[in-house]
Structure formats: structure tokens, C-alpha cells
Amino acid sequence: MSIAVGKKVPAFSLPATSDKQLALKDFKGKKLVLYFYPKDSTPGCTTEGNDFKELYPQFLKENCDILGISRDTIKRHENFKAKQEFPFELLSDEEEVLCGIFDVIKLKKLYGKEYLGIDRSTFIIDETGKLAKEWRKVKVTGHAAEVLEAVKSL
């Protein structure tokens, strides 16, 4: 099952940092940014997370929360979140449940080797639980600000 802009996002629930289990229903009546990233504590993922952290107060003013998602374990997420002082939670999708719904697992190449990994992608879910906007093959520079502008325009 995959998702399309304008359609309801299927219910989900995943383990999160801060010893939480977070579900889509927990954000009912709010906008929600889901940003999928390849791996904790790597340069691009750290920059992207810090860009969202810097703008987080402005997202909150727009009645919007943020969740970062990767296939890393909760333990890795807790370390990454603590080290970077992220004010938002990180979801662990080791079983690729949410990755599958949002179709973010792609064939990638690194040093001539092919592997399946998360294609950096961001999604905005509106207050009614519908997918409002998506970005795929995200380039980190300026992305968090672009997402904030999109949230403001909803």
C-alpha cells in the first residue's frame, strides 16, 4: 500500500524516542511533517535534523509537529536525538512499515555497491489526516525552510 497527495494516510503506530509509541491519531487536529532520512549521525541527516530543529518553534506556531523517521533502532535514535538536542521525536521503522506506506525504500548505490535504503523524503499531513504535500529525492540545503513555507500556505 502506498500513499498519494489528497488521500487519507493509513493509521500507523511506531516506537519513538522518549520511551513513546506514537500513532497518527496522536496528531489529529494538527499538521504533521514526516521526514524520512537514511541514517542517524551521518552528515546530511545531522544537517537536516538541525535545520528542522532551528525552525521547530515556527512549525509549532503553525500548529504543526515534526517527526523524523529512519530504520535505526530506538537506542541509536535516543543517542542521536540527545547529542543533537532535537526537540521533536524520532520514529524507529526497523520493519519498514511506514517506509512501505510512503514508498521511500529505493535501490541506491554507494562505492559501486547496490543496496536498498531510505530515499530522503518529506511529507506534510494536514489536520484531517490527508497527505497535503510530498518531497522526494530531497536535497538538504534549504529544505526545512521550504517545508515551513508549505506548512504556512496550508
- As annotated, the active-site residues are 45
**Which CB contacts under 8 angstroms, 24+ apart, belong to 80-88?**
80/40, 80/41, 80/46, 80/49, 81/17, 83/41, 84/46, 84/49, 84/50, 84/53, 85/53, 86/49, 86/52, 86/53, 87/53, 87/56, 88/52, 88/53, 88/56
Provide the grid cell at 53: 530543529
Instruction: Check residue 58 and report its DSSP letter.
Output: H
Between the CA of residue 89 and those of 17, 101, 151, what are the distances in Å?
6, 20, 19
